[in-house]
């Protein structure tokens, strides 16, 4: 999926999306406006490296992300991690995106993360190499304040050295800085949605109707 040459900063949004919900969608939409991104590329994880096996297949999670994002011209979906059928790690994913037939070396890439995912960064494979490949933008998430005192020391040092207040500076270099952005606070999680569905309760208004219809038609979450 090559991007337009010279396109503006591109948001990269990885996740398990088991299932995708309005918290994810607002994060991506508000990142575009708040950070001045040209677009967001959604990358569902094939086999998430840091958590147990998702309850549904990678192809089903990909299908849900496609349904949820289809009507937004600023969103694109990258199926490569799902098709690779091996553990997904972000650094190799970004190295793939840096290839000449993808985004190339110069386009600013901005890895979008909720504050919970950011705090867990030191557990990621080769996490400090992320900054050679992309900027990071951390979205506020209810229940997960970005509090330097409670971050792992190496990550807090990273924040102090790399944090930039002005998103405008994001387009001045391809990688290396940390930004944060406030988004509409939505205390929605895929864990909560799965729990509702397995109890036979309604998840309406937490995720798009077309995703709920797909879940129902495919009998994705037991008991639903
Ligand atoms: P689970 O509950 O299964 O852990 P999740 O709802 O956190 O799932 P993921 O697919 O793990 O969803 O998250 C992908 C990314 O979206 C992560 O960076 C996460 O921090 C972020 N995110 C998820 N939900 C929200 C939300 N409600 N507000 C802000 N960020 C969110």
pLDDT, mean over the chain? 92
pLDDT for the residue 85: 74
pLDDT for the residue 131: 97
Q: Which of 55, 68, 114, 211 to mutate to test the pocket of ligand 1 (most atoms within 8 A of CB)?
A: 114
* Rounded distance between C-alpha atoms, residue 218 and residue 220, angstroms: 5
Q: Which atom of ligand 1 is nearest to the CA of 185?
A: 28
Q: What is the pLDDT of residues 13-48, one digit of tens each?
A: 999 999 999 999 999 999 999 999 999 999 999 886
Q: Which of 44, 145, 190 to mutate to test the pocket of ligand 1 (most atoms within 8 A of CB)?
A: 190
Q: Which atom of ligand 1 is nearest to the CA of 187?
A: 27
Q: Which atom of ligand 1 is nearest to the CA of 17?
A: 10
Contact 46, 82 (CB under 8 A): yes
Q: What percent of the chain has pLDDT over 90?
A: 80
Q: Which atom of ligand 1 is nearest to the CA of 193?
A: 2
Q: What is the pLDDT of residues 98-124, one digit of tens each?
A: 999 999 999 999 999 999 999 999 999
Ligand 1 is surrounded, with C-beta below 6 A, by: 15-18, 23-24, 27, 113-114, 116-117, 139, 141, 186, 188-191
Q: If you measure from the C-alpha of residue 190 to the centroid of ligand 1, how many angstroms do you get, rounded to a whole number?
A: 7
Sequence ranges of the domains in the chain = 10-187
Q: Is the pLDDT of residue 49 over 70?
A: no
Give the residue with greater pLDDT, 210 vs 6. 210
Mean pLDDT value across residues 68-96: 93
Query: Where does the pLDDT of residue 169 fall: very low under 50, low under 70, confident under 90, or very high at 90 and above?
Result: confident
The pair phi, psi for residue 206, each rounded to 5°, is -100, -20
| Closest C-alpha residue for ligand 1 atom 25 | 23
Q: Is the pLDDT of residue 4 over 70?
A: no
Q: What is the pTM of this model?
A: 0.94
Give the residue with greater pLDDT, 125 vs 223. 125
pLDDT for the residue 176: 97
pLDDT for the residue 193: 97
Which of 211, 218, 217 lies closest to 17 in space, CA to CA? 211
pLDDT for the residue 223: 61
Which of 188, 164, 178 lies closest to 27 in space, CA to CA? 188
Q: What residues contact 192, with CB distance under 8 A and at least 6 apart?
A: 206
Please name the fold of domain 10-187. Answer: Rossmann fold (3.40.50)
């Amino acid at each position: 999926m090559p991007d337009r040459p010279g396109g503006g900063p591109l948001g990269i949004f990885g996740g398990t999306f088991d299932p995708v919900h309005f918290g994810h969608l607002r994060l991506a939409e508000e990142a575009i406006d708040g950070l001045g991104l040209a677009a967001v590329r959604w990358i569902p994880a094939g086999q998430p490296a840091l958590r147990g096996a998702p309850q549904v297949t990678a192809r089903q999670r990909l299908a849900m992300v496609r349904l949820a994002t289809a009507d937004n011209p600023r969103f694109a979906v990258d199926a490569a991690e799902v098709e690779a059928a091996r553990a997904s790690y972000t650094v190799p994913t970004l190295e793939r995106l840096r290839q000449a037939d993808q985004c190339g070396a110069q386009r600013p890439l901005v890895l979008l993360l909720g504050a919970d995912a950011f705090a867990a960064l030191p557990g990621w494979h080769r996490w400090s190499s992320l900054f050679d490949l992309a900027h990071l933008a951390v979205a506020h998430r209810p229940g997960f304040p970005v509090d330097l005192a409670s971050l792992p020391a190496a990550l807090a040092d990273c924040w102090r050295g790399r944090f930039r207040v002005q998103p405008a500076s994001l387009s001045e270099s391809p990688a290396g800085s940390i930004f944060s952005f406030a988004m509409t606070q939505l205390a929605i999680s895929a864990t909560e949605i799965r729990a509702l569905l397995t109890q036979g309760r309604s998840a309406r208004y937490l995720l798009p109707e077309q995703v709920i219809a797909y879940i129902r038609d495919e009998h994705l979450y037991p008991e639903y």
